[in-house]
């Protein structure tokens, strides 16, 4: 398996996944602290996605620590499976964030609703912002994993 920036077993990969996990966990904690979370469906979906994102990020951190401590490498079938699951979670995260941003935009343009619930709206905006940052780290991680899988499958140029 090819070694590159952000890959499993590298310090850069561990830092990338730790930041992904931290921002996802912060997003979950902000969401839970905002009142009336379960009243709007896109925010419920976003909260579920945030919990899955935090769990998946923690699993990736544990996997990276295992690879670093035991100086091993992932078998190629496990690496391909992790990459596929990473892309599925990335796609689901993008959908949940998009719907939450659309609802936030709708609320923000309705000045009466925004003035009445400004504190709640700001909490949701902060939560979605943290989730977008976690999604950015997730996208970098998924791209690196895909590049590693592609470089190990494709024949090397002579």
**Helix or strand holding residue 70 (H, E):** none
- Asked whether residue 2 is domain-assigned, the answer is no
- Asked whether residue 104 is domain-assigned, the answer is yes
pLDDT of 58: 92
- Asked whether residue 156 is domain-assigned, the answer is no
- Asked whether residue 3 is domain-assigned, the answer is no
Per-residue pLDDT averaged across 147-157, rounded?
A: 71
Tell me which residue range forms the domain holding 90: 11-151
Number of H helices and E strands in the chain, helices first, is 5, 0
Tell me: the pLDDT tens digits for 101-137? 888 888 777 767 667 777 777 888 888 888 899 889 8
CB 9 within 8 A of CB 63: no
Confidence band of 2 (pLDDT split at 50, 70, 90): low
> Residue 158 above 50 pLDDT?
no
Tell me: the pLDDT tens digits for 51-103? 888 998 898 888 888 888 887 666 666 767 777 888 888 888 888 888 888 88
Tell me: the pLDDT tens digits for 4-38? 677 777 788 888 889 999 998 998 888 888 777 66
> Residue 157 above 60 pLDDT?
no
- Cα–Cα dist 77/88, whole Å: 17
> Residue 1 above 70 pLDDT?
no
- Asked whether residue 57 is domain-assigned, the answer is yes
pLDDT of 19: 92
- Cα–Cα dist 39/26, whole Å: 21
- Cα–Cα dist 54/50, whole Å: 6
- Cα–Cα dist 152/148, whole Å: 6
State how many domains the chain has: 1
- Asked whether residue 5 is domain-assigned, the answer is no
- Asked whether residue 1 is domain-assigned, the answer is no
Handedness of CA 91, 92, 93, 94 (dihedral sign): positive
- Cα–Cα dist 57/25, whole Å: 10
């Amino acid at each position: 398996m090819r070694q590159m920036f952000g890959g499993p077993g590298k310090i850069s990969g561990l830092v990338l996944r730790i930041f992904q996990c931290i921002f996802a966990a912060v997003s979950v904690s902000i969401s839970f602290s905002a009142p009336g979370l379960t009243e709007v469906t896109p925010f419920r979906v976003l909260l579920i996605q945030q919990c899955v994102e935090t769990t998946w990020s923690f699993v990736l951190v544990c996997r990276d620590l295992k690879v670093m401590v035991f100086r091993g490498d992932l078998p190629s079938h496990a690496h391909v499976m992790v990459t596929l699951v990473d892309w599925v979670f990335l796609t689901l995260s993008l959908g949940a964030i998009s719907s939450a941003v659309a609802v936030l935009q709708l609320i923000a343009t309705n000045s009466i609703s925004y003035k009445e619930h400004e504190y709640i709206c700001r909490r949701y905006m902060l939560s979605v912002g943290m989730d977008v940052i976690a999604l950015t780290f997730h996208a970098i991680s998924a791209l690196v994993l895909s590049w590693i899988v592609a470089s190990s499958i494709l024949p090397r140029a002579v």
